[in-house]
Structures are given as C-alpha cells and as structure tokens.
Structure 1
Amino acid sequence: MNPLIKIRRDLHQIPELGFQEVKTQAYLLSYLKSLPQDRITIKKWRTGLFVKIQGLNPQKTIGYRTDIDGLPISEETGLQFSSSHADHMHACGHDFHMSIALGVLTYFTGNPIADNLLFIFQPAEEGPGGAEPMLKSEEMMEWKPDLIFALHIAPEYPVGTIAVKEGLLFANTSELFIDLKGKGGHAARPHETNDMVVAACTLVNQLQTIISRNVDPLDSAVITIGKITGGTVQNIIAENARLEGTIRTLSSESMKKVKHRIEALVKGIEAGFECEAVIDYGSMYHQVYNTESVTRDFMKYLQKETEVKVIECKEAMTGEDFGYMLKEIPGLMFWLGVDSPYGLHHAKLTPNEAAIDVAVSVMTSYISHLENKI
C-alpha cells in the first residue's frame, strides 16, 4: 500500500475536535521522528506543530499549512477504516490535507532545496480557530515564512484537477448565537407569558430580510440558522430559546452591515415580545484572498510544467481561517479535486485517495521551482 494512503487511513480513524487533537499530534510526531533529523526542527504549539526544514543556502522561507482537526459528525461511509471515535469524523478532508503535507515534507527531507521550508500543522480550523493565534505565536514570529500555501479538497472536481483564482477565494464568515429570555407559563394561559418559540420563529423570518433588502444585489451574503432550541415540554410555553447559525459575506463591509442589521432586528424582538436577548458572534474568519502575483505564477507553472487540469474557479461562500495567514503573508490556497459523490461536512464523504499523490507531486514540483525566485 502507498505509505501516504496508509497514513491517511490511520488519521481518518482518530478525528478530534479543535484543540483536542492529542492523538493526532502524537501520530504526526511519531512519523516525523522516523525521518532523517539532520535538517528538521520540530516545535509543539498547543495541539499543533511547527516543522522547519533547514535550507542549503536560504534566501527565504516557504511555508505550507495543513489543518488537522475533525468534525462532530457520525460517520456513515461504511469504510473498513472508519472513525473509531464516536460522533467524530474527518468529514472535511483534513486527513487528506495532513497526509499530503507529510508527503511534501518527506520529499524535501531527502531532496533539500536552497530555501528554508516551514510546515504548519494547525489545530482547530473547524472551530474555534487556530490560524489567528498560531500566526501570533512566538514560534511563528521566529520562523515566519515569506510565502505560504495551502489546499482544500474539492469533492465536485475530478482527480487531476486544481481549481484556483486570484484574489477572493473564500468568504468572510462569523458564527451567530442569539439567546432569547422571556416569561414561560401554562400552555392554556398564553396571555400571561412571553413565548420565546414564537419570538424565535419571528426573528428567523426577519433575519432573512437582511439579505434581500439590506445587502447590495451585486454583492453576496448568507445568513443561515442551522439550529433552534427552546422550551421544555409540549404543554409549557417556552421561557427561553436559542438560535445558532452563521453569517457569510464576500466583503468585510457587508459583514459589518449585516451584523448592524441583526442587532437592530434583535432590539425590535426585545421590544415587541417584552423579552431579553443576547447576541454572541463566536468565531469569525477573515476572507481567503489569494495574492494575485503568486497565484498567476502558480497557474502558469502548472499549465506549462504539469499534467494537471487547471480551472479558474469562482469565489465561494466557504469559510477558512487560513485567511488570517494570507492577510499577513503572500501566498494562496487552491481546491484539489477528489471526486466524491458526497460533499464536505457530509457523513458519507469519500474522497478518491489517488488525489494525494497528485497534490504531493504538484507541491514538491512548484516549491522546487520557487527556490530560485525571491
């Protein structure tokens, strides 16, 4: 078996949530320590890792980032190597991402280039967000790369395809939590209560008007309420309700406007239903904005020097905290085709493992090409 496929399957069985990636970190460390150590320096950061490969005559540092956490999803793939952690799954391809990163890293331990390489194994991409604090860490300050790259699997593209674009690739995203507190009571005496189920339902409908009436039609934004909880039993009017969702916008200005309108509507709910409301925006991710010059060079190189199919894609409403790194460091993220009938965050996601070698070949070739460029 291809050793990278074995690594992927091993990692697939031990998905862990953000900042809980203890087994994952231990597995990565065990593999890294099996490699020649003469040019490798490893530093732990919480449940993540920084791995530096010393260059032969470094003029710059080239960074490569992979995320390492899983999702709170019960796997339904039926694979022999399915998750061994109940209600947890690598349903966003981070097992692929790590395997690819290890493949690229392994290549350069045996084929060193002039420049330094920094591999970043980042926890908590799915939440609460590991990129921003990792970017501010002492380790990153010491080894901060001059260029940085990352990829994300794309179930909708066939193996052998890379999709990318200059500029905005992924949206600004924010979590959204709204807690409503009113006055509960007997179902037979609604006039003595302030029903928070009715208030929550009213608010959900009002939130959707923000997109249709407050966002420029030529811009894009999405508000999704994915979960509502409220009440205790069927014959008691609910005293509390909670809405949980996300906000996604293609511009930071739209994010500010959407949040301003959410706050205004929530104040209206407080007045109209004589209740109290608390808004929590949770984690917010900065947009993924690919550096134009780097992306152009990447696309031209792939088209000329490799056999992969390069597609110039459209921006997506997907969120990714790699955007914080691209805010500080030139670089790019691209989509890697993995040809799965099920999409990201789906319990039956089954990416084609042939894509692992495609990505390793692309990145080792392109990084080697970069060593002669400043």
Structure 2
Amino acid sequence: MTLSNENLLNIYRHLHQFPELGLEEFKTHDYLLTTIKQLPQQYLTIKEVTQLPTALLVKVVGKTHDRLIGYRTDIDALPVQEQTGLSFSSKIKGQMHACGHDIHMTVALGVLSYFASNQPATDLLFIFQPSEENHSGGMQLYQSGALAGDWLPDEIYALHDNPQLPAGAIGCLNGTLFAGTCEIHADFNGKSGHAAYPHNANDMVVAASAFVMQIQTIVSRNVDPIEGGVVTLGHLTAGDTGNVIAGHAHVDGTIRALTQTNNQRMQQRVRAIAEGVALTYGCEVSLKLHQGGYLPVENNSAITADFMGYMRAADGVNFIETKPAMTGEDFGYLISKIPGTMFWLGVDSPYSLHSEKMAPNTDAIAAGVSAITGYLEHRFTTIAN
C-alpha cells in the first residue's frame, strides 16, 4: 500500500497536533512505528535503538545489496506556543512543530510507503532521528553504533522545509548549504556593591559590556569578508536593581560559519576576548563554547551534482538553486561521516522557521514525495551504471 495524498495529509495533521521536544518524542516514535507497521512488510526490517529510544531505523531490502542509500528525517519539535489558528493546531501547551519536522516526517513516510510496495533496486535505510533542535541527535545516533556495519549508508539524503520557496519547489546548492554553529555561554564574576561607592566594587555590567562590544570586531576584522560569518549575543543578564553594582553578569550567544575552519577561528577569538576582558577588568570569566554535532552541512560534490541535474531535468519539479544559509542543522555531523546531500523543500509561508505562526502549505507534501521518489529511482540507475 502506497499512502495516498489524503493519508499523508491526515498523518501530517496528527503529527502537527502532538509535537514533542528533543529526546522526549515517545508518542511520536510510537505513532511512526504504528504507521510503518501498517505498510507491506515483505521488504521491511525495523530496528530500534537502545541508546536512543525515540530513534527508529527502517531498512527496505532491495533487489541487490551493492549499496545502502540513507534517507534521514528529524522528528522533534520546539518549545514554542503555536499561534497559527489552524483547526489542527498543537494540543501540547508551549510546544509546536515550528520548524516543520512534521512535514519532514510525513514526506519520509510517503517515500517509504512507495518503496515498501515497490521493491527498490538496492537497499534503502530510512532514519527517523530525534533531537535535531538540541542535544545533537544526529551525532548521538551515529556514535551509538546503530548505523554501524550493514546499517551504515554509503550515501545519505535529507530535506529541510523552506517557507521562502514556492510550495513543492526543490532547492539545493553544491557546496555548503547550512552553517556550522557553536553556542556561547559566558559568566563574568566580580564584586557587587553600593552604586555610590564604585571604587569598592568590581562592576560586571561594565566587563560584560566590553565583551559584547569587542565581540563585534570578530567578523569585521578576523573573517574573510568573502566567506562571512555571524557572532550574535542575544541574551545578557546582570544585577537586580539600579542602585546596586552587579557582581555577576551572564551572556549567551551563537557563532555561525560556513566552514569548520572559520567556526574554530571565531571560537578562538571569542576565547581570547574573554581572557582579555578578565585581565582588563580584574574579574573571573567562565566561558563555555559548545558546538556538539552542529557542523556545516557540506554537500558532497559528485552526489549533489547528480541530485541537482536530476531535479533540473525532471518533469513536474520546480528546481531552484539556492544560496548558503546561516541556519544550523545537525545533519552536518552525519554528512561529515557519510557523503550525501541536504536540500530544501518549499512550503510557501509568510512566516519564518521557528515562528509561532509558521504554517506550511501542505501542497508541498505530495510534491516532495514525488520528487524524492523519482530521484531515488534515478539514483539506482546511476549507481548500476
């Protein structure tokens, strides 16, 4: 049984109503498993992951076993209170599929259902991966060993929905599609005191402010302007009231770069500036830089050329060559271990990813299933030749 467009729309609406945060996707896992078990089972092998219990792997046995092609979808949601007004809005307070992983899962199920009824020419592996939004679920899955041996794909693919592209359009880029990211967490510790006696205190508002201002020079003076990068400090807290000098300040931010080399260079500059502020202001600075598995999504040149060539020529596919984006994705870790391609699926929404009003155009689902199924059939032929 291949899932119909009506089936897929109902699946999407169910997933949208019951979002779950990273590593907590137990009901999502169970719903996916139930749906998959309703498909023809002749070619399917289902594997649970003990170390990552909300993950799910489904292998489709091909006519030959010369190659294993992987297709990954993420399954987690965001801590966002939905405000779309949809009749099937999230029923979970403070949680929403604001990044469109419900679309991702639905498309993956559509493609899987086709190959469950139409044996592929070679083996396929569908990866339902938890915790893309946090905790580096892709890295955790790979490091768990669940993809080792006969379960390690020779190449891998994944999509991300894009509200800025027409519904159903396929977008891609040969090179780095998404940036690598790194979290910044900095604590400045000095000495609090009365506002009237600054000489008896060590003001961490001043120290943290110096850190914030000096950070602005990293991209402008340390990164090749052709390559670009981002350092954003989006959260700063200090003190409790206006007439008390703050003895502590906390700053959170993010680094984003299209190459790992630049990301590491920017991390080094953040660390050097933090150490300089500590010396200049006579305070203690505790700096944590956390990258985890959020490496740049660097599409494999040969595989991506084949993917883009197919999508350009395929009947009924609206292909758009896109530019790099500074958004992050933990598929970057998987693609650093397994050659492959990530691409966009247009969902035509006036609201951005992560917005509480982001409502994808569901026409994208059928178009995405058709384009990906067609490409995989093409890829089997390419591999065979």
Which TM bucket (shorter chain)?
over 0.9
One-letter code aligned to 1:21? E
Partners of 1:16 and 1:315 in 2: CA distance = 29
Equivalent residues in 2 for 1:297-312 (5 A)?
297-312=306-321
One-letter code aligned to 2:142? L
Q: Conserved in 1, the CA contact under 8 Å of 2:190 and 2:202? A: yes
Partners of 1:25 and 1:77 in 2: CA distance = 25
More off after superposition, 46-55 vs 229-238: 229-238
**1:195 maps onto 2:213 in alignment:** no
One-letter code aligned to 1:111? N
**1:12 maps onto 2:16 in alignment:** yes
Give the alignment partner of residue 118 of structure 1, picking from 113, 122, 125.
125
Q: Deviations over 1:1-50 (max 9, x none)?
A: 81111111111122222212112111111211222222222122212111
**1:146 maps onto 2:154 in alignment:** yes
Deviation at 1:303, TM superposition (A): 2.3
Equivalent residues in 2 for 1:32-71 (5 A)?
32-45=36-49, 46=52, 47-71=54-78
Q: Deviations over 1:122-156 (max 9, x none)?
A: 11111121111212332200311112110011111
Give the alignment partner of residue 221 of structure 2, picking from 209, 213, 217.
213
Equivalent residue, structure 2, for 1:175: 183
| TM-score normalised according to structure 1 size | 0.96
**1:137 maps onto 2:141 in alignment:** no
**1:342 maps onto 2:358 in alignment:** no
Partners of 1:230 and 1:30 in 2: CA distance = 49
Partners of 1:109 and 1:262 in 2: CA distance = 50
**1:324 maps onto 2:333 in alignment:** yes
One-letter code aligned to 1:118? L
Partners of 1:271 and 1:84 in 2: CA distance = 51
Give the aligned length: 374
Partners of 1:36 and 1:263 in 2: CA distance = 55
Q: Secondary structure at the match of 1:159?
A: coil
One-letter code aligned to 1:23? K
Q: Deviations over 1:302-328 (max 9, x none)?
A: 222222221111111111111122122
Equivalent residues in 2 for 1:271-282 (5 A)?
271-282=279-290
Deviation at 1:287, TM superposition (A): 0.9
Give the alignment partner of residue 166 of structure 1, picking from 171, 174, 185.
174
Q: Conserved in 1, the CA contact under 8 Å of 2:73 and 2:108? A: yes
Equivalent residue, structure 2, for 1:291: 300
Q: Secondary structure at the match of 1:92?
A: coil
Equivalent residue, structure 2, for 1:369: 378
**1:98 maps onto 2:109 in alignment:** no
**1:23 maps onto 2:27 in alignment:** yes
Deviation at 1:220, TM superposition (A): 0.6
One-letter code aligned to 2:90? S
Q: Conserved in 2, the CA contact under 8 Å of 1:128 and 1:283? A: no
Partners of 2:13 and 2:211 in 1: CA distance = 44
Q: Conserved in 2, the CA contact under 8 Å of 1:171 and 1:318? A: yes
Partners of 1:259 and 1:300 in 2: CA distance = 37
One-letter code aligned to 2:176? L
Partners of 1:89 and 1:352 in 2: CA distance = 16
One-letter code aligned to 1:224? T
Q: Conserved in 2, the CA contact under 8 Å of 1:129 and 1:283? A: no
Q: Secondary structure at the match of 1:52?
A: strand
Deviation at 1:121, TM superposition (A): 0.7
Indicate the percent of aligned positions where both proteins have the same amino acid: 49
More off after superposition, 332-341 vs 82-91: 82-91
Q: Secondary structure at the match of 2:371?
A: helix
Partners of 1:127 and 1:346 in 2: CA distance = 17
Q: Secondary structure at the match of 1:43?
A: strand
Partners of 1:3 and 1:186 in 2: CA distance = 66
**1:72 maps onto 2:85 in alignment:** no
One-letter code aligned to 2:103? F
Deviation at 1:223, TM superposition (A): 0.3
RMSD across aligned positions (CA): 1.5
5+ residue gaps, structure 2: none
Partners of 2:203 and 2:284 in 1: CA distance = 12
Equivalent residue, structure 2, for 1:86: 93
Give the alignment partner of residue 360 of structure 1, picking from 353, 366, 369.
369
Deviation at 1:232, TM superposition (A): 2.8
Q: Secondary structure at the match of 1:139?
A: coil
Q: Secondary structure at the match of 1:279?
A: strand
Q: Secondary structure at the match of 2:90?
A: coil
Partners of 2:26 and 2:219 in 1: CA distance = 40
Q: Conserved in 2, the CA contact under 8 Å of 1:154 and 1:335? A: yes
Partners of 1:310 and 1:198 in 2: CA distance = 51
Partners of 1:39 and 1:233 in 2: CA distance = 66
